[in-house]
Structure 1
Amino acid sequence: MRLTEFWNRMNAHFGPAYAESFAGDHVMSELGGRTVREALDAGWEAKDVWRVVCTSMDVPAALR
């Protein structure tokens, strides 16, 4: 998954303003105690981060 697709999906689920806030502020244990941004910066694949977000935040199947 490309980062542009990742951000499109984040924006579709959370809305553009909250997607940015969530990505930078919400620490997730499934990402090793990192935020979404920290995980991506640490080299996590966007598809893996998206899977964690989907599982943790109950993203509807239509947006997965």
Structure 2
Amino acid sequence: MRYREFTDLVDDVLGRAQGRLLVDELVLDALGGRTAGAALADGTEPREVWHALCDALGLPDARRWGSDPHRQAPPRPGQR
């Protein structure tokens, strides 16, 4: 997953305004007590950040990949 795909998913799944707020403000234990934005700035893979954000928000797999039926769900970190 690339950064652009991450931001597209944030906008599609969480809504542009709310999603961007969550990326900038929600502190995630799975990312070492950083926000998603801080983790991305520190070089954490967007895929790992996306899964951490979705897990923290309790989003089921069916909602994680937005409205595009052709979007492939990237594997979780540590999976191939």
The TM-score normalised by the length of structure 1 is 0.88
Runs of 4+ more than 6 Å apart: none
Q: Any gaps of 5 or more consecutive residues in structure 2?
A: 66-80
The alignment-based identity, stated in percent, is: 33
State how far apart, in whole Å, the 2-side matches of 1:53 and 1:24 are: 11
RMSD, aligned CA: 1.1
Determine if the alignment matches structure 1 residue 11 to structure 2 residue 37: no
Q: Any gaps of 5 or more consecutive residues in structure 1?
A: none
Larger radius of gyration: 2
Higher percent of residues as strand? 2
Q: How many residues align?
A: 64
Higher percent of residues as helix? 1
The TM-score normalised by the length of structure 2 is 0.72
| Residue 37 of structure 1: aligned partner | 37
